[in-house]
Structure 1
């Protein structure tokens, strides 16, 4: 280039000399002569004849392109045939970043004839304009013409990287590194190629190698800092930046600090194994983010983007700190400013809404996250739980199966299969859920999540002892694993191991007060330690008078808070009344007693005072023995039994009773029971009875369940002419279909509709067989675990002594802890 790299006159002759010289250097193995020649070549460049040409070139060399370009433009227009002016004009345009204008001049020359320095400038402009194929072709042409020009190979390497041809670039970089092992320029190019394919470790090694040769190389120092930041070492990068001031601009320093806060936020997600220190890194991250925001605000308007980034990243840190209300508050402020959140921040806000029991909003944000990141398993998992919390089991199950198929050969395969199994459990199909969990447990018997969920489904199916064994297996592997600790604590409640439950729940509450499952456990424990009121009321109207044409029954029991964990005192009142042809009868009874609850035994002892034309005392002892998860054996004995017919009491007859039973509960879908009873009436009558049945879940669907019950009853009496209903022998068999619709559920609150239809047959000695039928409709309101209310109406048809009676009834049950 005229005066940029030598006068154009005699250029070809110099190129020929240069090639010969390089060939000679290769033969003698020395570059010393080449260096001398290049020095002479640079000095040889004679100044152009036109002083203005010389003035433009000198201005360009000083970097004063604004002064150089107008002169060169004028000279070129006046002398369009002068190649030296054209070459110099093209190169200075390239230096000035006027690549499009430089490439317009390139069309006026023959690439086969232009000098090396022009070819390099033109190829670089092509690269800058992202015309990578043309740039690559020009570099390769230059290498063919000027084979020894190392700068062309460097340019080609940069071009291949920019074009995304990383494999070719890697091969070229490896070759250049082997040929020129000590060349700093080649190391820069190798580093650039490594960064292009995301290999910042190799790039860092190149910069450190350069600094080993040239300790004061500021370019290498700067790139080393940026490479450290890229490999996730922003703190080391910041230390180096502090040791070498001025290498980074303000935006890069802000970015470095933002990366530091992001790294500490990620550390905080793993937390410390010590519960009291699990938020230490997250708190540190929040402090860094606050400091970064203040520093960026002091640098406005240049720091505005970093103010916004600090505010967005703080959403994640606050989520990790479980300060969910603040997450939502800050999100709404950003939303009001029309700030577009990146996917990771949308997911953090979705997690916050889900925690705050707003699953509809959470689901919307999870879906938006997945639009940006379709393979984000954690976001899909959050969406699954948001659907569950909305009671949208259909979409939850569909999503669970989709994730299971998507991860069939992926890294999250086990988690996806576990999620699909949980979907069945949450939807109420415990049997299907268990059938999916057991194969997972067999494949990964030491997986703590699978052990925890297996214990959970065992508990839900009514097998607390089997659940206990599973939890203990998991805790033996990792005693500190939180889900297992939570499940085991609830299992203590299920098994009525109240002393252990209280200690475990108290510790969990102290260590993890923000955890939703721990909060649920605390609510259960608080309800357990409250007083409890149980009320049942029934009223009926009958077309006959066997048990009274109008009857009313009320029972109310108030339990104290537990004493020594296992004992509760109680006071009770009972009222029974009915109208008979021979008159009205009312029985009022008061009771007081104590209840005892243990892992294997639950018992009640009660003393009663009965008012029925005179005060009479009674008493009741009841117990249930539960040796395992399947069998239970109730027994009861009562003096002045509550089962004494009111019509017998009307005639001054009372009865004592005793019963013994056996229950077999296979699971939540099937159970059997059998009770043998005996009543000793004061008129000399002895009544023997047998009651049994089987209940089977027939249909279990989303928000609906249908159970079938088959019950039978038979009795025999020793006396026959009693003033109360007293058949010699009788038998009753009933088939019931019980429907349950879950119409509404929102976390702890639920509302059910129930409809039961019964048909059967009743046989009475001397009166034959008559059909029976009943219809019962109920509403059930529940605010778990403290409030339960059931009320309903019933219609029934039954025969007594051959006469059919129609019965209309209503009933109410209340259970309230306070």
Structure 2
């Protein structure tokens, strides 16, 4: 794999040489802003450059030089999703220009969308048959397709959210492109209870699915079954929509939810699950917002509804570190109580936190650590309010383009039915591109 930030010399030269007069006329102020954005990008301040260009694209959404500059700078920033999305908004006659075609093809290959990259390059070669850079990239892409690579992911983590009853969750997944715009994957998931009394709630599940990616939509679904317990099959469907570079919306339905509380699973309780989430970031990533909501219909007649929201503000962001303050809000309700699993009729939490991430100089491609400290109030119907608090430490390693690892450990003090519980959780995740 190549580093996406390095765009070919030919593409960069074209990017620097094409004049803005090739598109519709713009006012002098916009032209000055464009020059400022290019100056920021060349000095390495890619985020600020994109902020300036986003403002211009709001006024001139179809102006090719602004589209081109934003796409190329996004490739320098290694923001491949923005590169691919930006390419989709460029008119067909301009998509064959090498300065946008080459970084887009590289990003598609980085996303394991080799067939899509070949399609883009072949279209460009028809218009630019003598372009050596396009020809070389096309040869590389075709060679890569001949030795199609798949990505494997493994993770294991502990979960003590069911009133402190510890369970270990383990997953393995392999995925890759199986046709143009079409991705396939296989996943296995296991849950093991630390307390033998809950062994009947353990999970042994196999999942097979497909995702189809086109323009700003990804639609998909899967089928699943328990490897030991007969009759526990399931299906799911999902859709992801990226209306622009700032928003990401996702909705899914599972006929068999893997998120039923441990003690509920131990006595045979199952559920379906509706889920929706949205993510937003400001153009400069100073503001971020995440919202998620779920609906469960348990087989014991309980109906659970819950939502979670997290807003972060980055008050000091540099290439080497990030300092953010966080506000978390969460609320859940259940229609049936009491049950064998933790099931408050109504519960609300308000949490404030501080997050600090720093990049560590190392021999690896990237190594970053982060720590999150938080405290708040948890209010449960019939039990009143009580303070909650905790901390999490995480390390993220990008050893090479093909191999990454993350691990974390967290400590928290929570309250369940008026009683305080200490929670200690940990986990590790490994992603590897198979040879």
Match of 1:468 in 2: 87
Match of 1:572 in 2: 187
Match of 2:45 in 1: 425
Deviation at 1:648, TM superposition (A): 0.3
The answer to whether the 8 A contact 1:545-1:580 is kept is no
The answer to whether the 8 A contact 1:708-1:736 is kept is yes
Any idea what SS the aligned residue of 2:361 has?
Answer: strand
Counterparts of 1:545 and 1:471, CA distance in 2: 49
Deviation at 1:417, TM superposition (A): 8.3
The answer to whether the 8 A contact 2:347-2:381 is kept is yes
The answer to whether the 8 A contact 2:152-2:172 is kept is yes
Counterparts of 1:802 and 1:586, CA distance in 2: 28
1:721 aligns with 2:302: no
Deviation at 1:625, TM superposition (A): 2.5
- Judging by fraction of residues, say which structure has more helix: 1
Deviation at 1:420, TM superposition (A): 4.7
Q: 1:741 to 1:728 in 2, by over 3 A?
A: same
1:380-427 residue CA offsets vs partner (Å, 9 max, x unmatched):
xxxxxxxxxxxxxxxxxxxxxxxxxxxxxxxxxx9998455432425x
The answer to whether the 8 A contact 2:40-2:48 is kept is no
Deviation at 1:643, TM superposition (A): 0.7
Q: 1:502 to 1:758 in 2, by over 3 A?
A: farther
Match of 1:221 in 2: none
The answer to whether the 8 A contact 2:190-2:202 is kept is yes
The answer to whether the 8 A contact 2:37-2:49 is kept is no
1:695-741 residue CA offsets vs partner (Å, 9 max, x unmatched):
33332113111233322111111101110000010012222322221
User: Could you list the runs of 5+ residues in structure 2 that have no partner in the other structure?
Assistant: 1-5, 7-33
Q: 1:671 to 1:581 in 2, by over 3 A?
A: same
Match of 1:191 in 2: none
Counterparts of 2:88 and 2:190, CA distance in 1: 45
Counterparts of 2:104 and 2:269, CA distance in 1: 52
Counterparts of 1:527 and 1:784, CA distance in 2: 22
Counterparts of 1:713 and 1:663, CA distance in 2: 16
The answer to whether the 8 A contact 2:237-2:252 is kept is yes
Match of 2:133 in 1: 512
Deviation at 1:464, TM superposition (A): 4.7
Any idea what SS the aligned residue of 1:563 has?
Answer: strand
Any idea what SS the aligned residue of 2:100 has?
Answer: helix
1:630-688 residue CA offsets vs partner (Å, 9 max, x unmatched):
34332111122101111101112111111233443433333333333211111111111
**Relative contact order (C-alpha < 8 Å, sep 6+): which is higher?**
2
Kindly tell me the number of residue pairs found equivalent between the two proteins.
387
Deviation at 1:493, TM superposition (A): 6.8
The answer to whether the 8 A contact 1:758-1:774 is kept is yes
Match of 1:627 in 2: 243
In terms of Rg, which structure is larger? 1
Match of 2:271 in 1: 655
1:207-237 residue CA offsets vs partner (Å, 9 max, x unmatched):
xxxxxxxxxxxxxxxxxxxxxxxxxxxxxxx
Match of 2:421 in 1: 805
The answer to whether the 8 A contact 2:40-2:49 is kept is no
Counterparts of 1:527 and 1:672, CA distance in 2: 41
Match of 2:72 in 1: 456
1:535 aligns with 2:154: yes
Counterparts of 2:146 and 2:354, CA distance in 1: 33
Query: Could you state the TM-score of these two structures normalised by the residue count of structure 1?
Result: 0.42
Q: 1:600 to 1:583 in 2, by over 3 A?
A: closer
1:695 aligns with 2:312: yes
1:127-166 residue CA offsets vs partner (Å, 9 max, x unmatched):
xxxxxxxxxxxxxxxxxxxxxxxxxxxxxxxxxxxxxxxx
Match of 2:52 in 1: 435
Counterparts of 2:381 and 2:195, CA distance in 1: 24
Deviates most, 710-719 or 624-633? 624-633
